[in-house]
């Protein structure tokens, strides 16, 4: 069974390529870094990791590793290039969502990269839902307190469109 940690962090990543490369080679595990300004609540990432894990269990995964498969589901996209463009870290991004797979020392990862844990960056908002790609029409179609469900629906649809 894969150990998964989902956390929000703050920090300045100077070189996103170096940071992402470092996350891909953590002792015994790997990590995924996403733009927290598009993450619509912790459940968004919980759902994405569950769908990605299930895809590997069923042999219907579209990517070669769990981190990238999780990004596909989290983005609501089927193509890696679209998912990366939508959810990936951009230069200057200071609010980061981290998903760590089989990482034994989460605090060590944060220290090594000068990051500070702040799960509040994962909190959902209508603005984040709009950035994610939810339309105003879709938002009007659901009760105001259920907008996160629209994002979760997009996460689930990735598996249906494979």
pLDDT at 161: 60
Q: How far apart are CA 161 and CA 149, in angstroms?
A: 18
Q: Is the pLDDT of residue 145 over 90?
A: yes
Instruction: Work out the pLDDT band at 143, boundaries 50, 70, 90.
Output: very high
CATH code where residue 111 lies: 3.30.2380.10
Q: What is the pLDDT of residue 1?
A: 79
Give strand pairing partners of 149. none
Structural domain including 21 reads 4-160
With a CB cutoff of 8 Å and minimum separation 6, the contacts of 19 are: 13, 33, 89, 113
pLDDT, tens digit, 9 for 90 and up, residues 25-64: 888 899 999 999 999 999 999 999 999 999 999 999 999 9
Number of domains into which the chain is organized: 1
pTM: 0.93
Q: Is the pLDDT of residue 120 over 90?
A: yes
Going by pLDDT thresholds of 50, 70 and 90, the confidence category of residue 162 is: low
**What is the per-residue pLDDT for 13?**
86
Between 10-24, 35-49, 116-130, the lowest mean confidence (pLDDT) is in 10-24
pLDDT score, position 109: 92
User: Do 36 and 127 contact (CB within 8 A), yes or no?
Assistant: no
């Amino acid at each position: 069974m894969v150990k998964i940690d989902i956390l929000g962090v703050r920090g300045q990543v100077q070189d996103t390529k170096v940071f992402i490369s470092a996350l891909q080679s953590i002792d015994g595990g790997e990590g995924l870094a996403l733009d927290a300004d598009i993450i619509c609540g912790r459940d968004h990432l919980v759902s994405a990791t569950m769908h990605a894990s299930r895809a590997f269990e069923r042999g219907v995964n579209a990517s070669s590793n769990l981190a990238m498969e999780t990004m596909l589901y989290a983005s609501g996209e089927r193509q890696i290039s679209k998912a990366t463009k939508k959810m990936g870290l951009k230069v200057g991004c200071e609010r980061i969502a981290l998903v760590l797979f089989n990482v034994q020392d989460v605090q060590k990862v944060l220290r090594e990269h000068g990051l500070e844990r702040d799960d509040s960056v994962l909190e959902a908002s209508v603005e984040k839902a709009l950035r994610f790609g939810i339309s105003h029409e879709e938002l009007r179609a659901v009760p105001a307190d259920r907008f996160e469900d629209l994002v979760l629906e997009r996460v689930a649809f990735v598996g249906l469109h494979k």
